[in-house]
Amino acid sequence: MVDEYSNYINGKWAGANTGKTYENINPATGEILGLFPLSGAAEVDKAVDAASRAGVKWRKLPAPKRGEILFKAAEIMVQRKEDLARRMTMEMGKVLKEARGDVQEGIDMTYYMAAEGRRLFGNTTPSELSNKYALSMRVPIGVVAAITPWNFPFAIPTWKIMPALVAGNTVVFKPSPFTPDMAYQLVKILEEAGLPPGVINLIYGEGPVLGVPLVEDPRVTLVSFTGSTKVGGEIAQRSARLGKRYSLEMGGKNAIIVMEDADLDLAVEGIIWSAFGTSGQRCTAASRIIIQRSIMPYLTEKIVTRAERLRLGNGLLPGTDVGPVIHQEALDKILRYIKIGLEEGAKLLIGGGRATDGELSKGLFVPPTVFGDVTPKMRIAQEEIFGPVTALIPVDSLQEAIAVNNDTPYGLVTAIFTRDVNSAFRAMEDITTGIVYINSGTIGAEVHLPFGGTRGTSNGHREAGQAALDVYTDWKTVFVDYSGRLQKAQMTD
Protein backbone atom coordinates (compact mmCIF):
# COMPACT_ATOMS: atom_id res chain seq x y z
CA MET A 1 0.00 0.00 0.00
CA VAL A 2 1.48 3.34 -1.10
CA ASP A 3 0.88 6.35 1.15
CA GLU A 4 -0.90 9.36 -0.33
CA TYR A 5 0.05 12.89 0.77
CA SER A 6 -1.67 16.28 0.68
CA ASN A 7 -1.01 19.97 0.26
CA TYR A 8 -0.88 22.11 3.39
CA ILE A 9 -2.93 25.30 3.10
CA ASN A 10 -4.08 27.53 5.96
CA GLY A 11 -3.16 24.91 8.54
CA LYS A 12 -5.03 22.03 6.88
CA TRP A 13 -3.86 19.04 4.83
CA ALA A 14 -5.93 18.49 1.70
CA GLY A 15 -5.58 17.13 -1.84
CA ALA A 16 -5.71 19.11 -5.06
CA ASN A 17 -8.94 20.12 -6.81
CA THR A 18 -7.74 18.24 -9.87
CA GLY A 19 -7.92 14.94 -8.00
CA LYS A 20 -4.72 13.94 -9.78
CA THR A 21 -1.55 12.61 -8.17
CA TYR A 22 1.95 11.65 -9.23
CA GLU A 23 4.40 9.00 -8.05
CA ASN A 24 7.47 9.78 -5.97
CA ILE A 25 10.11 7.29 -7.17
CA ASN A 26 13.38 6.10 -5.63
CA PRO A 27 16.02 6.70 -8.36
CA ALA A 28 18.22 3.88 -7.06
CA THR A 29 15.58 1.13 -7.14
CA GLY A 30 12.53 2.36 -9.06
CA GLU A 31 10.39 1.83 -5.94
CA ILE A 32 7.29 4.02 -5.54
CA LEU A 33 7.60 5.91 -2.26
CA GLY A 34 4.30 7.78 -2.23
CA LEU A 35 1.61 9.63 -4.16
CA PHE A 36 1.52 13.43 -4.12
CA PRO A 37 -1.01 15.97 -5.46
CA LEU A 38 -0.75 17.48 -8.90
CA SER A 39 -1.99 20.91 -7.92
CA GLY A 40 -3.12 23.73 -10.17
CA ALA A 41 -3.82 27.45 -10.15
CA ALA A 42 -6.70 27.00 -7.70
CA GLU A 43 -4.32 25.74 -5.01
CA VAL A 44 -1.91 28.59 -5.70
CA ASP A 45 -4.71 31.10 -5.16
CA LYS A 46 -5.79 29.44 -1.90
CA ALA A 47 -2.23 29.24 -0.59
CA VAL A 48 -1.41 32.86 -1.40
CA ASP A 49 -4.70 34.00 0.10
CA ALA A 50 -3.98 32.10 3.31
CA ALA A 51 -0.46 33.52 3.51
CA SER A 52 -1.68 37.04 2.85
CA ARG A 53 -4.31 36.89 5.59
CA ALA A 54 -2.00 35.18 8.11
CA GLY A 55 0.63 37.85 7.60
CA VAL A 56 -1.47 40.48 9.38
CA LYS A 57 -1.03 38.72 12.73
CA TRP A 58 2.30 37.01 12.13
CA ARG A 59 4.19 40.24 11.50
CA LYS A 60 2.81 41.61 14.79
CA LEU A 61 4.14 38.67 16.80
CA PRO A 62 7.38 39.84 18.43
CA ALA A 63 10.41 38.59 16.54
CA PRO A 64 11.83 36.79 19.63
CA LYS A 65 8.58 34.79 19.79
CA ARG A 66 8.86 33.92 16.11
CA GLY A 67 12.40 32.79 16.81
CA GLU A 68 11.24 30.54 19.64
CA ILE A 69 9.00 28.64 17.24
CA LEU A 70 11.93 28.10 14.90
CA PHE A 71 14.04 26.94 17.84
CA LYS A 72 11.40 24.31 18.67
CA ALA A 73 11.44 23.21 15.04
CA ALA A 74 15.22 22.81 15.15
CA GLU A 75 14.91 20.66 18.28
CA ILE A 76 12.46 18.36 16.50
CA MET A 77 14.81 18.13 13.51
CA VAL A 78 17.63 17.01 15.81
CA GLN A 79 15.45 14.22 17.19
CA ARG A 80 14.48 13.04 13.70
CA LYS A 81 17.79 13.56 11.92
CA GLU A 82 18.46 9.92 11.07
CA ASP A 83 14.94 9.27 9.81
CA LEU A 84 15.03 12.43 7.71
CA ALA A 85 18.38 11.45 6.22
CA ARG A 86 17.21 7.96 5.29
CA ARG A 87 14.08 9.37 3.68
CA MET A 88 16.20 11.79 1.70
CA THR A 89 18.50 9.07 0.41
CA MET A 90 15.52 7.00 -0.69
CA GLU A 91 13.90 9.99 -2.38
CA MET A 92 16.78 11.59 -4.30
CA GLY A 93 19.68 9.15 -4.10
CA LYS A 94 22.56 10.87 -2.30
CA VAL A 95 24.51 8.55 -0.02
CA LEU A 96 23.39 8.44 3.60
CA LYS A 97 26.37 10.31 5.05
CA GLU A 98 25.72 13.17 2.64
CA ALA A 99 22.00 13.13 3.47
CA ARG A 100 22.88 13.48 7.13
CA GLY A 101 24.94 16.52 6.24
CA ASP A 102 22.03 17.99 4.28
CA VAL A 103 19.72 17.59 7.28
CA GLN A 104 22.36 19.01 9.63
CA GLU A 105 22.67 22.09 7.45
CA GLY A 106 18.92 22.57 7.75
CA ILE A 107 19.19 22.19 11.53
CA ASP A 108 22.03 24.71 11.65
CA MET A 109 20.13 27.22 9.55
CA THR A 110 17.01 26.88 11.68
CA TYR A 111 18.93 27.43 14.91
CA TYR A 112 20.81 30.34 13.37
CA MET A 113 17.71 32.13 12.15
CA ALA A 114 15.87 31.39 15.41
CA ALA A 115 18.58 33.42 17.15
CA GLU A 116 18.08 36.27 14.68
CA GLY A 117 14.68 36.74 16.30
CA ARG A 118 16.54 38.40 19.17
CA ARG A 119 18.66 40.51 16.85
CA LEU A 120 17.22 41.68 13.51
CA PHE A 121 19.47 44.67 14.06
CA GLY A 122 18.69 48.08 12.67
CA ASN A 123 20.85 51.18 13.06
CA THR A 124 20.83 54.37 15.06
CA THR A 125 22.82 57.36 13.92
CA PRO A 126 23.21 60.95 15.10
CA SER A 127 20.86 63.37 13.41
CA GLU A 128 22.36 66.44 11.78
CA LEU A 129 19.81 68.56 13.66
CA SER A 130 19.40 69.27 17.36
CA ASN A 131 16.66 67.58 19.37
CA LYS A 132 16.08 65.01 16.68
CA TYR A 133 16.55 61.22 16.78
CA ALA A 134 17.28 59.05 13.72
CA LEU A 135 17.08 55.28 13.34
CA SER A 136 16.39 52.53 10.84
CA MET A 137 14.73 49.14 11.36
CA ARG A 138 14.00 45.97 9.43
CA VAL A 139 10.37 45.19 8.61
CA PRO A 140 8.81 42.20 6.82
CA ILE A 141 8.04 42.48 3.12
CA GLY A 142 4.92 40.28 2.91
CA VAL A 143 4.25 36.98 1.13
CA VAL A 144 7.30 35.02 -0.06
CA ALA A 145 7.15 32.36 -2.76
CA ALA A 146 9.89 29.80 -1.99
CA ILE A 147 10.63 27.63 -5.03
CA THR A 148 13.26 25.00 -4.26
CA PRO A 149 15.24 22.26 -6.08
CA TRP A 150 15.66 18.55 -5.41
CA ASN A 151 19.42 18.27 -4.84
CA PHE A 152 19.40 19.72 -1.31
CA PRO A 153 15.77 19.05 -0.44
CA PHE A 154 16.04 19.90 3.26
CA ALA A 155 18.86 22.44 3.51
CA ILE A 156 17.85 24.80 0.70
CA PRO A 157 14.22 25.17 1.81
CA THR A 158 15.46 26.17 5.26
CA TRP A 159 17.76 28.76 3.67
CA LYS A 160 14.65 30.47 2.30
CA ILE A 161 11.88 29.67 4.75
CA MET A 162 13.64 30.32 8.07
CA PRO A 163 14.90 33.87 7.37
CA ALA A 164 11.57 34.69 5.77
CA LEU A 165 9.63 33.52 8.84
CA VAL A 166 11.82 35.05 11.52
CA ALA A 167 11.62 38.39 9.70
CA GLY A 168 7.81 38.28 9.93
CA ASN A 169 6.90 37.18 6.41
CA THR A 170 4.56 34.37 5.41
CA VAL A 171 5.49 31.70 2.87
CA VAL A 172 4.06 29.70 -0.02
CA PHE A 173 6.44 26.77 -0.46
CA LYS A 174 6.65 25.05 -3.87
CA PRO A 175 9.22 22.22 -3.67
CA SER A 176 10.64 20.20 -6.52
CA PRO A 177 8.25 17.44 -7.60
CA PHE A 178 11.17 15.01 -7.29
CA THR A 179 11.59 15.48 -3.52
CA PRO A 180 8.08 16.01 -2.16
CA ASP A 181 8.52 13.91 0.98
CA MET A 182 11.28 16.10 2.39
CA ALA A 183 9.02 19.12 1.93
CA TYR A 184 6.24 17.29 3.77
CA GLN A 185 8.58 16.41 6.65
CA LEU A 186 9.81 20.00 6.97
CA VAL A 187 6.35 21.55 6.99
CA LYS A 188 5.09 18.89 9.40
CA ILE A 189 7.90 19.82 11.78
CA LEU A 190 7.02 23.53 11.56
CA GLU A 191 3.38 22.68 12.21
CA GLU A 192 4.33 20.64 15.29
CA ALA A 193 6.57 23.47 16.50
CA GLY A 194 3.53 25.75 16.68
CA LEU A 195 3.62 27.79 13.50
CA PRO A 196 0.15 29.39 13.14
CA PRO A 197 -2.15 28.38 10.25
CA GLY A 198 -1.42 30.16 6.98
CA VAL A 199 2.08 31.27 7.91
CA ILE A 200 3.52 28.50 5.77
CA ASN A 201 1.63 26.84 2.95
CA LEU A 202 2.85 23.87 0.90
CA ILE A 203 1.69 23.12 -2.64
CA TYR A 204 2.87 20.19 -4.74
CA GLY A 205 2.96 19.95 -8.50
CA GLU A 206 4.80 20.73 -11.69
CA GLY A 207 6.90 23.86 -12.00
CA PRO A 208 5.34 25.35 -15.16
CA VAL A 209 1.82 24.77 -13.87
CA LEU A 210 2.34 26.32 -10.44
CA GLY A 211 5.21 28.69 -11.12
CA VAL A 212 3.48 31.12 -13.46
CA PRO A 213 0.40 31.85 -11.28
CA LEU A 214 2.60 31.96 -8.18
CA VAL A 215 5.06 34.45 -9.66
CA GLU A 216 2.32 36.57 -11.22
CA ASP A 217 0.03 36.75 -8.18
CA PRO A 218 0.10 40.42 -7.09
CA ARG A 219 -0.10 39.41 -3.42
CA VAL A 220 3.30 37.69 -3.66
CA THR A 221 5.95 40.27 -2.79
CA LEU A 222 9.11 38.23 -3.32
CA VAL A 223 9.97 35.16 -5.39
CA SER A 224 12.94 33.24 -3.99
CA PHE A 225 14.14 30.61 -6.46
CA THR A 226 16.96 28.08 -6.64
CA GLY A 227 17.27 26.06 -9.83
CA SER A 228 18.26 26.26 -13.46
CA THR A 229 19.46 29.43 -15.15
CA LYS A 230 16.76 29.05 -17.80
CA VAL A 231 13.89 29.02 -15.31
CA GLY A 232 15.54 31.72 -13.21
CA GLY A 233 15.69 33.97 -16.26
CA GLU A 234 11.99 33.46 -16.91
CA ILE A 235 11.18 34.32 -13.30
CA ALA A 236 13.32 37.45 -13.54
CA GLN A 237 11.51 38.63 -16.66
CA ARG A 238 8.05 38.05 -15.22
CA SER A 239 8.92 39.59 -11.86
CA ALA A 240 10.57 42.65 -13.40
CA ARG A 241 7.56 43.27 -15.60
CA LEU A 242 5.33 43.15 -12.52
CA GLY A 243 7.70 45.28 -10.42
CA LYS A 244 8.21 42.66 -7.74
CA ARG A 245 11.34 41.40 -6.05
CA TYR A 246 13.12 38.20 -6.97
CA SER A 247 16.11 36.39 -5.51
CA LEU A 248 17.79 33.84 -7.78
CA GLU A 249 20.39 31.14 -7.15
CA MET A 250 21.07 29.32 -10.41
CA GLY A 251 23.84 27.42 -12.19
CA GLY A 252 27.55 26.98 -11.68
CA LYS A 253 30.61 25.90 -13.64
CA ASN A 254 32.98 25.67 -10.74
CA ALA A 255 36.69 25.00 -10.86
CA ILE A 256 39.48 23.70 -8.69
CA ILE A 257 42.87 25.22 -9.49
CA VAL A 258 45.89 23.10 -8.59
CA MET A 259 49.34 24.74 -8.61
CA GLU A 260 52.58 22.79 -8.76
CA ASP A 261 53.48 23.76 -5.19
CA ALA A 262 50.25 22.32 -3.76
CA ASP A 263 49.83 19.36 -1.42
CA LEU A 264 48.81 17.08 -4.29
CA ASP A 265 47.35 14.29 -2.15
CA LEU A 266 45.11 16.84 -0.44
CA ALA A 267 44.17 18.29 -3.83
CA VAL A 268 43.12 14.86 -5.11
CA GLU A 269 40.90 14.38 -2.05
CA GLY A 270 39.27 17.74 -2.69
CA ILE A 271 38.79 17.02 -6.39
CA ILE A 272 37.17 13.61 -5.88
CA TRP A 273 34.77 14.90 -3.24
CA SER A 274 33.90 18.07 -5.13
CA ALA A 275 33.45 16.45 -8.55
CA PHE A 276 31.59 13.28 -7.58
CA GLY A 277 29.86 14.00 -4.25
CA THR A 278 26.07 13.88 -4.69
CA SER A 279 26.86 12.37 -8.11
CA GLY A 280 27.99 15.81 -9.24
CA GLN A 281 24.45 17.12 -8.77
CA ARG A 282 25.41 20.26 -6.86
CA CYS A 283 25.54 23.84 -7.98
CA THR A 284 28.95 23.85 -6.27
CA ALA A 285 30.26 20.70 -8.00
CA ALA A 286 33.78 20.97 -9.47
CA SER A 287 33.23 20.23 -13.14
CA ARG A 288 36.55 21.85 -14.16
CA ILE A 289 39.99 21.03 -12.76
CA ILE A 290 42.53 23.65 -13.85
CA ILE A 291 46.00 22.17 -13.41
CA GLN A 292 49.47 23.64 -13.82
CA ARG A 293 50.97 21.82 -16.79
CA SER A 294 54.09 20.56 -15.00
CA ILE A 295 52.01 18.34 -12.67
CA MET A 296 49.29 17.38 -15.16
CA PRO A 297 50.52 13.81 -15.86
CA TYR A 298 51.00 12.97 -12.18
CA LEU A 299 47.73 14.51 -11.01
CA THR A 300 45.74 12.99 -13.89
CA GLU A 301 46.88 9.50 -12.93
CA LYS A 302 46.01 10.12 -9.29
CA ILE A 303 42.53 11.45 -10.11
CA VAL A 304 41.70 8.58 -12.44
CA THR A 305 42.96 5.98 -9.96
CA ARG A 306 40.84 7.41 -7.16
CA ALA A 307 37.77 7.80 -9.36
CA GLU A 308 38.04 4.14 -10.40
CA ARG A 309 37.77 3.08 -6.76
CA LEU A 310 34.48 4.87 -6.13
CA ARG A 311 31.62 2.43 -5.64
CA LEU A 312 28.22 3.07 -7.21
CA GLY A 313 25.06 1.87 -5.54
CA ASN A 314 22.06 2.50 -3.35
CA GLY A 315 22.98 5.30 -0.96
CA LEU A 316 21.54 3.39 2.00
CA LEU A 317 24.07 0.59 1.60
CA PRO A 318 27.35 0.77 3.57
CA GLY A 319 30.33 1.38 1.34
CA THR A 320 28.46 3.25 -1.39
CA ASP A 321 30.38 6.32 -2.56
CA VAL A 322 28.22 7.53 -5.46
CA GLY A 323 24.45 7.18 -5.72
CA PRO A 324 22.11 7.52 -8.69
CA VAL A 325 21.22 10.64 -10.63
CA ILE A 326 17.78 12.01 -9.96
CA HIS A 327 15.71 11.07 -13.05
CA GLN A 328 15.79 9.93 -16.65
CA GLU A 329 15.97 13.44 -18.06
CA ALA A 330 19.08 14.15 -15.97
CA LEU A 331 20.64 10.88 -17.11
CA ASP A 332 19.98 11.70 -20.75
CA LYS A 333 21.50 15.17 -20.35
CA ILE A 334 24.68 13.80 -18.76
CA LEU A 335 25.11 11.18 -21.48
CA ARG A 336 24.52 13.85 -24.11
CA TYR A 337 27.34 16.00 -22.69
CA ILE A 338 29.68 13.02 -22.57
CA LYS A 339 29.03 12.57 -26.28
CA ILE A 340 29.63 16.29 -26.87
CA GLY A 341 32.96 16.06 -25.06
CA LEU A 342 34.10 13.23 -27.31
CA GLU A 343 32.95 15.11 -30.41
CA GLU A 344 34.91 18.18 -29.30
CA GLY A 345 38.11 16.13 -29.11
CA ALA A 346 38.43 15.68 -25.36
CA LYS A 347 39.95 12.38 -24.21
CA LEU A 348 37.71 10.15 -22.10
CA LEU A 349 39.91 8.87 -19.27
CA ILE A 350 37.32 7.00 -17.21
CA GLY A 351 33.54 6.47 -17.17
CA GLY A 352 31.46 7.60 -20.08
CA GLY A 353 28.12 5.77 -19.97
CA ARG A 354 25.28 4.42 -17.89
CA ALA A 355 26.13 1.70 -15.36
CA THR A 356 23.86 -1.33 -15.80
CA ASP A 357 25.59 -4.18 -13.97
CA GLY A 358 23.52 -6.20 -11.49
CA GLU A 359 21.40 -4.13 -9.13
CA LEU A 360 22.57 -0.94 -10.85
CA SER A 361 20.31 -1.79 -13.78
CA LYS A 362 17.28 -0.97 -11.61
CA GLY A 363 18.39 2.61 -11.09
CA LEU A 364 19.85 5.63 -12.84
CA PHE A 365 23.60 5.38 -12.35
CA VAL A 366 26.46 7.14 -14.13
CA PRO A 367 30.01 6.19 -13.10
CA PRO A 368 32.51 8.96 -12.32
CA THR A 369 33.64 10.38 -15.66
CA VAL A 370 36.87 12.28 -16.28
CA PHE A 371 37.90 14.04 -19.49
CA GLY A 372 41.49 14.99 -20.36
CA ASP A 373 42.89 17.19 -23.11
CA VAL A 374 40.14 19.75 -22.49
CA THR A 375 40.48 23.33 -23.71
CA PRO A 376 38.80 26.23 -21.90
CA LYS A 377 36.25 27.01 -24.63
CA MET A 378 34.92 23.48 -25.10
CA ARG A 379 31.25 23.16 -24.20
CA ILE A 380 32.06 20.65 -21.45
CA ALA A 381 34.26 23.38 -19.93
CA GLN A 382 31.64 26.14 -20.26
CA GLU A 383 28.18 24.62 -19.75
CA GLU A 384 26.67 23.12 -16.61
CA ILE A 385 26.33 19.34 -16.87
CA PHE A 386 25.04 18.62 -13.33
CA GLY A 387 26.39 15.10 -13.13
CA PRO A 388 29.51 13.13 -12.15
CA VAL A 389 31.61 14.53 -15.00
CA THR A 390 34.73 16.68 -14.68
CA ALA A 391 37.20 18.14 -17.19
CA LEU A 392 40.98 18.50 -16.75
CA ILE A 393 42.35 21.73 -18.24
CA PRO A 394 46.12 22.43 -18.39
CA VAL A 395 47.53 25.93 -17.82
CA ASP A 396 51.04 27.35 -17.49
CA SER A 397 50.69 29.90 -14.71
CA LEU A 398 48.53 31.22 -11.88
CA GLN A 399 47.56 34.20 -14.02
CA GLU A 400 46.35 31.92 -16.81
CA ALA A 401 44.54 29.67 -14.31
CA ILE A 402 42.60 32.62 -12.88
CA ALA A 403 41.75 33.91 -16.36
CA VAL A 404 40.43 30.49 -17.41
CA ASN A 405 38.49 30.18 -14.18
CA ASN A 406 36.79 33.55 -14.60
CA ASP A 407 35.90 33.03 -18.26
CA THR A 408 32.55 31.23 -17.96
CA PRO A 409 28.93 32.41 -17.83
CA TYR A 410 28.76 31.41 -14.15
CA GLY A 411 30.49 32.58 -10.99
CA LEU A 412 29.57 30.56 -7.93
CA VAL A 413 32.65 28.97 -6.36
CA THR A 414 36.35 28.39 -7.03
CA ALA A 415 38.94 26.48 -5.01
CA ILE A 416 42.71 26.74 -5.28
CA PHE A 417 45.34 24.41 -3.86
CA THR A 418 48.70 26.09 -3.24
CA ARG A 419 51.28 26.37 -0.46
CA ASP A 420 52.34 29.82 -1.64
CA VAL A 421 50.69 32.50 0.47
CA ASN A 422 51.27 35.08 -2.26
CA SER A 423 49.45 32.92 -4.80
CA ALA A 424 46.63 32.32 -2.35
CA PHE A 425 46.07 36.01 -1.73
CA ARG A 426 46.37 36.87 -5.41
CA ALA A 427 43.69 34.26 -6.12
CA MET A 428 41.45 35.63 -3.37
CA GLU A 429 41.71 39.08 -4.94
CA ASP A 430 41.45 38.22 -8.65
CA ILE A 431 39.00 35.30 -8.75
CA THR A 432 35.55 36.68 -9.60
CA THR A 433 33.29 34.03 -8.09
CA GLY A 434 31.10 34.65 -5.05
CA ILE A 435 32.88 32.00 -2.97
CA VAL A 436 36.59 31.12 -2.86
CA TYR A 437 38.20 28.20 -1.03
CA ILE A 438 41.92 27.96 -0.29
CA ASN A 439 43.25 24.39 0.04
CA SER A 440 39.80 22.83 0.17
CA GLY A 441 37.19 21.61 -2.30
CA THR A 442 34.33 23.63 -3.77
CA ILE A 443 31.75 22.12 -1.41
CA GLY A 444 30.95 23.01 2.18
CA ALA A 445 28.84 26.12 2.85
CA GLU A 446 28.46 27.39 6.41
CA VAL A 447 25.11 28.90 7.36
CA HIS A 448 26.46 32.04 9.07
CA LEU A 449 28.19 33.27 5.89
CA PRO A 450 26.68 34.62 2.64
CA PHE A 451 26.14 32.04 -0.11
CA GLY A 452 25.81 33.06 -3.74
CA GLY A 453 27.59 33.91 -6.93
CA THR A 454 28.26 36.35 -9.72
CA ARG A 455 27.40 36.56 -13.43
CA GLY A 456 24.76 34.00 -14.47
CA THR A 457 24.75 32.30 -11.08
CA SER A 458 22.81 34.95 -9.18
CA ASN A 459 21.00 38.25 -9.45
CA GLY A 460 23.20 39.70 -6.73
CA HIS A 461 21.39 38.55 -3.62
CA ARG A 462 22.89 36.15 -1.10
CA GLU A 463 21.44 33.31 0.93
CA ALA A 464 22.43 32.36 4.49
CA GLY A 465 24.05 34.56 7.12
CA GLN A 466 22.79 38.02 7.94
CA ALA A 467 22.94 38.79 4.21
CA ALA A 468 19.79 36.68 3.80
CA LEU A 469 17.85 39.13 5.94
CA ASP A 470 18.48 41.82 3.32
CA VAL A 471 16.45 39.70 0.91
CA TYR A 472 13.51 39.12 3.24
CA THR A 473 13.19 42.54 4.89
CA ASP A 474 12.57 46.14 3.97
CA TRP A 475 14.43 49.00 5.62
CA LYS A 476 12.29 51.60 7.35
CA THR A 477 13.90 54.89 8.38
CA VAL A 478 12.35 56.80 11.30
CA PHE A 479 12.98 60.40 12.39
CA VAL A 480 11.74 61.62 15.78
CA ASP A 481 11.84 65.39 16.16
CA TYR A 482 11.28 66.57 19.74
CA SER A 483 12.39 70.18 19.22
CA GLY A 484 8.88 71.53 19.27
CA ARG A 485 9.43 73.42 16.02
CA LEU A 486 9.62 72.60 12.33
CA GLN A 487 13.23 71.88 11.47
CA LYS A 488 14.14 71.76 7.80
CA ALA A 489 17.05 69.45 7.03
CA GLN A 490 19.91 70.93 4.99
CA MET A 491 18.28 74.36 5.15
CA THR A 492 20.08 76.84 7.43
CA ASP A 493 17.75 79.84 6.94
Return d(Cα 229, Cα 246) in angstroms, integer: 14
Return d(Cα 367, Cα 344) in angstroms, integer: 21
322: which DSSP letter? Answer: B
**Annotated catalytic, 283?**
yes
Q: Are 339 and 391 in contact (CB under 8 A)?
A: no
DSSP 440-489: S-S----TTS-B--EETTBSS--BSTTHHHHHHEEEEEEEEE-SSS---T
Least Cα distance to 34 among 58, 13, 6, 57 occurs for 6
In the prediction, which pLDDT does 491 show? 80
Query: What residues form DSSP beta bridges with 171?
Result: 144, 200
The reply to whether CATH 3.40.605.10 applies to domain 7-250+458-478 is yes
Return d(Cα 384, Cα 229) in angstroms, integer: 10
Longest Cα pair distance anywhere in the chain, in angstroms? Answer: 88
Enumerate the domain spans of the chain.
7-250+458-478, 254-438
The type of residue at 372 is: G
Q: Are 154 and 182 in contact (CB under 8 A)?
A: yes
In the prediction, which pLDDT does 162 show? 98
Below-70 pLDDT ranges, the chain: 492-493
Return d(Cα 27, Cα 359) in angstroms, integer: 12
- Residues 393-450 have pLDDT tens digits of 999 999 999 999 999 999 999 999 999 999 999 999 999 999 999 999 999 889 999 9
**Annotated catalytic, 249?**
yes
- Do 7-250+458-478 and 254-438 come out as alike in CATH topology? no
- Write the CATH number of the domain with boundaries 254-438: 3.40.309.10
249, 269, 329, 343: the active-site residue: 249
In the prediction, which pLDDT does 492 show? 59
105, 191, 283, 384: the active-site residue: 283
Return d(Cα 414, Cα 67) in angstroms, integer: 34
CA dihedral 174, 176, 182, 185 (to 10 degrees): 20
In the prediction, which pLDDT does 493 show? 58
Secondary structure class of 323 (helix, strand, coil): coil
